[in-house]
């Protein structure tokens, strides 16, 4: 019997998705099909989505460490490859949650308020 392939999680949105949406929306704005009120509404949606992505990123950072990833392995996704960035982020997160499950519980509590 063959073993099932492991789940490979993907981000729910990509930079390419955002750029495609942005180009389409910019064209609609240039054509006069989008009002200022519509843009203000989407600005609010984007700000909330940005915060949600940051929270998800924090969860993934905690979970990666729990699964044995080193700071050197994680560092490249923070930019220049310095371990200081993920280490500092982990330190800040650990003031609120000791692990990814606790962080998820915090996020659930925030969402229910």
Tokens at 108, concatenated? 């659930």
Q: How far apart are the first and last CA of the chain?
A: 47
What own/partner pairs with CB < 8 Å and gap ≥ 24 does 43-52 have? 49/13
Instruction: Give which of 65, 52, 46, 67 is closest to 104, Cα–Cα.
Output: 52
C-alpha span between 25 and 40 (Å, rounded): 13
What is the Rg, in whole angstroms, of the alpha carbon atoms belonging to the chain?
A: 18
Q: Which residues of the chain have pLDDT under 70?
A: 1, 81
Q: What is the pLDDT of residue 81?
A: 65
Q: What is the pLDDT of residue 113?
A: 84
Give the predicted TM-score (pTM) of the model.
0.85
């Amino acid at each position: 019997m063959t073993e099932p392939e492991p789940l490979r999680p993907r981000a729910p949105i990509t930079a390419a998705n955002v750029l495609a949406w942005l180009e389409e929306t910019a064209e609609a704005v240039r054509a006069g099909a989008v009002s200022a009120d519509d843009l203000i509404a989407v600005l609010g949606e984007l700000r909330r989505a940005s915060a949600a992505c940051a929270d998800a990123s924090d969860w993934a950072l905690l979970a990666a460490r729990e699964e044995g990833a080193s700071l050197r392995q994680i560092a490249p996704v923070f930019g220049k490859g310095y371990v200081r960035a993920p280490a500092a982020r982990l330190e800040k997160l650990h003031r609120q949650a000791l692990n990814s499950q606790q962080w998820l519980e915090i996020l659930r509590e925030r969402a229910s308020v």
